[in-house]
Amino acid sequence: MLGKKLVTAQKRGETRALCLGLGMVACSTMMYFFIGITIVPFYTKSVWTTETVCKVLKANIKDKVLCPNSEGSEDEDIFPYPCLQVWVNLTASGQEVMLYQTEDTLERNPKCSYVPDKSENSKEVKARIETIASNFKKYHTFPCYYDPGGTQTNVILSRLYPPKGLLFAFLWPTLMFTGGCLIIVLVKISQYVSVLSAWQ
C-alpha cells in the first residue's frame, strides 16, 4: 500500500515537473517571438552601425517648435518645446553634420537634436535642454555613430538597441528555454530509470 502511494506521488511530481518544463519552453518561445517582431526589426533597420568620434562645433537652442514633425501625427501628440540643434565634425569623414540623440529622434523631429517626453513639465524641459546644451559645450569630443554606407549624412549619440542590448534581450528567454529543456530531459531520464528498475 505504501509502495503504491509512493509511486503515485512520484508520478504526480514528475507530471508537475514536466508541465513546468513545457511551460518554460512555451514562455521562452513567446518571448523569442515578441523580441523578433519588436526589437530585432529596429536593430536591423538602423544604419548607424559604425562608432567614431564627434567634435562639437556648435550647440544652439532655437525658438520653440512643435513635436512631432511627421505626417499622420495626431493633434494630442503635438506639444511645443525649445529646439536644440547640435552640429558636430565627423572624424571619419571630416564633414559637418547634425547630431541626434537616437534613431527615434530623427523620425520624430528632424529639425532638433533632442526631443523631450510630452509628459514632462515645460520648465523641466527647458532646464533639461539647457543642461544638455551646456554639457555639449563643455565636453567637445565624444563617441557617436554614423552610417558607413552614406545613406544618412547625420549621426546619432546612442543607438536604441546596440548589439549588447540585443544579446541581453535574448539572454533571459535563452536561459528559460535551456532550463525548461533540462527539466524535461531530467524527468524523462527519471521515468526511464523507474521503468527499468521496475522491469528488472
pLDDT in tens, the chain (200 residues): 544 554 565 677 778 888 888 999 999 999 999 998 888 888 888 889 888 889 999 888 887 665 554 444 454 456 678 889 999 998 767 788 999 999 888 888 888 899 887 766 778 888 888 899 888 888 888 899 998 887 888 999 998 888 888 888 899 999 999 999 999 998 888 878 777 776 76
Nine-digit cell string for 94:
571630416
Q: What SS3 class is residue 89?
A: strand
What is the CB neighbour count within 10 angstroms for residue 13? Answer: 12
Predicted local confidence at residue 145, as pLDDT: 92
Helices (H), 99-162: 103-108, 122-138
145, with CB counted inside 10 A (0-12, 13-18, 19+), is buried
Task: Please report the pLDDT score of residue 64 as a whole number.
Answer: 64
- Tell how strand 96-100 and strand 155-156 pair up: parallel
CB 23 within 8 A of CB 31: no
CB-based contact 18:48 (threshold 8 Å): no
Task: Collapse the DSSP code of 116 into the 3-class scheme (helix H, G, I; strand E, B; otherwise coil) and give the result.
Answer: coil
Q: Which pLDDT does position 150 carry in this prediction?
A: 77
Confidence (pTM) = 0.69
State residue 14's pLDDT score.
78
In angstroms, rounded to a whole number, what is the distance separating the alpha carbons of residues 73 and 100?
20
What is the C-alpha separation between 182 and 85, in angstroms, rounded? 53
**Phi, psi torsion values for 145, nearest 5 degrees:** -120, 140
